[in-house]
Amino acid sequence: MATLLHPMRTSFGQTSAPIFSTSSFAKWQISSNIYAFHQPVRHAHSRRNVSYTAAEMEGSERIASSALIDMTKPVPPLSILPLPNLIRSYLITAISSFPTLLYASLRALRFLANSKSAALNPDRNPLLHSLIKRTIYAQFCAGETTHEVDETINRLKRMGYRGVMLGYAREVCLGKNQAEILSSKVKEDGLNVDEISSWTKGTLTTVGMAQKGDFVSVKFTGAGTQALQHLAMGKPPSTLLEKSITEVCELAETRGVKLLFDAEQDAVQAGIDAWTIGCMKRYNRNGQALVYGTYQAYKKSTPGVLAEHLDLARKEDFVLGVKLVRGAYLGCDPRHLFWETIEDTHQTYDGIAESLMRRAYNDTLKATSPSAGAFPRVNLVLAGHNKDSVIRAQAIRNAQAASGESRIDLAYGQLMGMAEDVSCGLVHAGQVAVQEGGESVVDVPRAYQYLVWGTVGECSQYLVRRAEENKDALSRTREGRKALGKELLRRCGMPWR
């Protein structure tokens, strides 16, 4: 019987039978594999509803065979990590690899994040502030000031990342007090104005910190109680909030920054979709998406919702911006909303990704009707830490490049500080692909890092939620720790294969 697992576990790769025949590969592979480590490419989930033609498989092997590193001087993808980052990542993943240490650390972090004591507030306790900022905060967050954020962005771009997906740490999780929040009375003055003003200032500041080509992550619920109520009731934003959203979109457009409107709890998701589509209709009309909506593959309703949005984009002639994730709100929403098994989530994620990349409906993402017409224009962000999904996407993209087929605008996103073997592998694959002839020969992946900024105290709830989402992904953490350990040994001049 299939095991019921937390869908966020789907963000992490596992191993099974190889996708490609290893006989046609040298030990160091780049293009289709995207990982320069010498183990063969493996895939876990034969059930996934993603297909490849014989020509694509043959083309992928040919591309990978033509993009080999000098075997006398192999350079692993993790070589792009600065030494302090490498050491910190190894220590954090080492803790995460052992359940006892992980759960003890989570309890301590959760206690600090929810404490009302001034002595335990990292923004008021200098010793606590320094400890957290130099460890877990530095691993996952961009900085507390504009200067610190700018330094982090520039460091990531020097490492080879195309850019960042930057968010402001302030967020709302409805949780147990959901009913109280949604039933409270809100007026168009006082607290509501202050909440919207604070959200607007933080969001505009974030857009101002981002550089051209970057993404900014936006949460509508951060705008306060009235925004939550309007979203839950399916009402449009208030006049004041509508003005703020317009201001955010127009600043992003001026700066060449794209906006990712986050998915949130099911109680407000339909409202978020409506507000996001409204922004797409207005700003996604120049052939490129400025605004992206977020679609969670672990929800049973997602393929149908996305199909409706695709149909709307075709009818009203705008580009649909899609950020595809596996999901993050299992603890806040009713369990019946989600697929029963982790395999179902895998299949949905990969099936949707394939459909969008090929611009063709399939068994996972079905057209709303037989007369749905041509597939609309789509820009896609594939967000997640699962190696297998990235390998599948790159295999499709490489085959499209080799055959001269047009490709949709696509970016990859991983959380900064997590699954660095995946994100560094994408950067490395892009660097090698450019050396081998660029887009005319093989797809050059565009890798981005997702991170938030804010004070240590403001980021504490974000850090807790990210840790909770991924606490059960121990097998992937062990895999990542081994890769980081090998890189540390390599830099010390010790055997590491």
Supply the DSSP string of 384-424, one letter for each residue. Answer: ---HHHHHHHHHHHHHHHHHT----EEEEEEETTS-HHHHH
Distance, CA of 201 to CA of 206 (rounded, Å): 9
Helix, strand, coil in percent for the chain, rounding step 5:
55, 10, 35
Report yes or no on 353 lying in a domain: no
Q: What is the dihedral of CA 353, 354, 356, 361, to 10 degrees?
A: -130
Q: Are 292 and 260 in contact (CB under 8 A)?
A: yes
Contacts for 383 with CB less than 8 Å, ≥ 6 apart: 323, 324, 325, 412, 413, 414, 450
Q: Is 495 exposed, middle or buried (0-12, 13-18, 19+ CB in 10 A)?
A: exposed
Total number of domains in the chain: 1
pLDDT reported for residue 477: 64
* 440-452 confidence digits (pLDDT tens): 678 899 999 999 9
Domain hosting 81: range is: 76-144+471-497
Report yes or no on 124 lying in a domain: yes
* 231-272 confidence digits (pLDDT tens): 999 999 999 999 999 999 999 999 999 999 999 889 999 999
Average pLDDT over residues 205-221: 96
Report yes or no on 488 lying in a domain: yes
Report yes or no on 280 lying in a domain: no
pLDDT reported for residue 69: 34
Report yes or no on 97 lying in a domain: yes
- Name the nearest CA neighbour of 81 among 371, 495, 497, 487: 487
Length of the chain: 497
Report yes or no on 435 lying in a domain: no
Report yes or no on 108 lying in a domain: yes
Which of the four pLDDT bands, split at 50, 70 and 90, describes residue 439?
Answer: low
Which DSSP symbol is given to 41? P
* 53-109 confidence digits (pLDDT tens): 444 444 444 333 333 333 334 578 898 999 999 999 888 888 877 777 777 887 888
Q: Which residue has the higher pLDDT, 8 or 434?
A: 434
pLDDT reported for residue 308: 97
* 412-426 confidence digits (pLDDT tens): 999 998 888 899 999
pLDDT reported for residue 469: 62
pLDDT reported for residue 6: 37
Report yes or no on 492 lying in a domain: yes
Q: Which residue pairs, CB below 8 angstroms and at least 24 apart, start in 103-110?
A: 103/471, 105/467, 106/464, 106/467, 106/468, 106/471, 109/136, 109/460, 109/463, 109/464, 109/467, 110/464
Please check the confidence at residue 188 and state whether its pLDDT lies above 60.
no
* 345-388 confidence digits (pLDDT tens): 999 999 999 999 999 999 999 999 887 788 999 999 999 888 89
Partners of 322 in beta bridges: 293, 380
Detail the DSSP E strand segments found in 184-278. 215-218, 258-261
Locate 362 and state its tokens.
């399939």
